[in-house]
Amino acid sequence: MMILKIKRVFISRGEMIESMELYDQGKLKNYIYAYKVLKGTKWITLVRWDNVESMDHMDIYDENGTLINQVEMEKKRFEDVVKIVRTFRRSIIAVDISNL
Amino acid sequence: MVISMRMIIKRTYSDDDMNLLFKMIRKKAGRYEKIKHLLHIKKCSDPNLAERYLILTCIMNNGQIDEEVIIEDRKVFNALTGKRMEIIELVNEKGPISVKELAKFAGRDYKNVYDDIMALEKFLIIRAVKVGKERVALGKVRECTLKF
């Protein structure tokens, strides 16, 4: 059976980290860990770690949703993603976090 | 001062919620095969595409969606007024439900209910999506635990 497990961690009002993990027969198939901010009525992704349709990597977007950087990296644990986001918050897009 | 309070909300999605998500994604992004193809050629240039792909993959395989929300901020209690708790109960009972219908069932002004939905959404307590011109609340809060 396929299960999509969504975990949303509240960071501040209008800021969150969302984890989406798709399990097939109990095995993790795809994941997306995204730091999102609420702009008007829409949640905008600023940074995302995922392996959907490609290798493990990190994407950085601007506040209009335009991809500004993509870096290949090993899969991060969700707990580590939460720590990184809590440290940098909205300024995360201006910091080189590829080595963290 | 270190915050030790943690509120954990568990939400499940009914068949009606899944159908609404399916229709919404199909309307916004097209068929499953198209989304998969776009993902392949565009990679991650559209941040919403991969999320829609995961949701559709789950729905099309008759899977289930489980959601957990973790809030470590005491201000969450400011968002939980009596009227807003009523909204959560109405969404649980009648959802997926539009703000317009919620206002009707609660016998309240549309604007006030809309503002309440937005306040609850900012704290991730309610999940709402835009369907056409309407904002629709979905998912059912099954459990809300407070840990210290």
- A57 contacts on B by Cβ (under 8 Å): 44
* Cβ of residue B33 closer than 8 Å to a chain A Cβ: no
* Cβ of residue B8 closer than 8 Å to a chain A Cβ: no
Give the one of B39, B54, B122 whose C-beta lies nearest to A4's C-beta.
Answer: B54
Residue A19's pLDDT is 97
At B69-123, the pLDDT tens digits run: 999 999 999 999 999 999 999 999 998 999 999 999 999 999 999 999 999 999 9
Structural contact between residues B10 and B68, judged by C-beta atoms closer than 8 angstroms: yes
* CB spacing of A4 vs B55 below 8 angstroms: yes
Q: Does B6 have pLDDT greater than 80? A: yes
**Would residue B20 count as lying in a domain?**
yes
Q: What is the CATH number of the domain that holds B128?
A: 1.10.10.10
**Would residue B70 count as lying in a domain?**
yes
Strand order in the sheet with B64-71: A67-72, A57-61, A42-50, A27-39, A15-24, A2-12, B64-71, B6-12, B140-147
Q: How many domains does chain B have?
A: 1
Domain ranges of chain A: 2-90
> Which domain range does residue B25 map to?
6-147
* Cβ of residue B75 closer than 8 Å to a chain A Cβ: yes
Give the one of A8, A30, A70 whose C-beta lies nearest to B54's C-beta.
Answer: A30
* Cβ of residue B32 closer than 8 Å to a chain A Cβ: no
Q: Give the pLDDT band (50/70/90) at residue B1.
A: low
Give the ipTM.
0.90
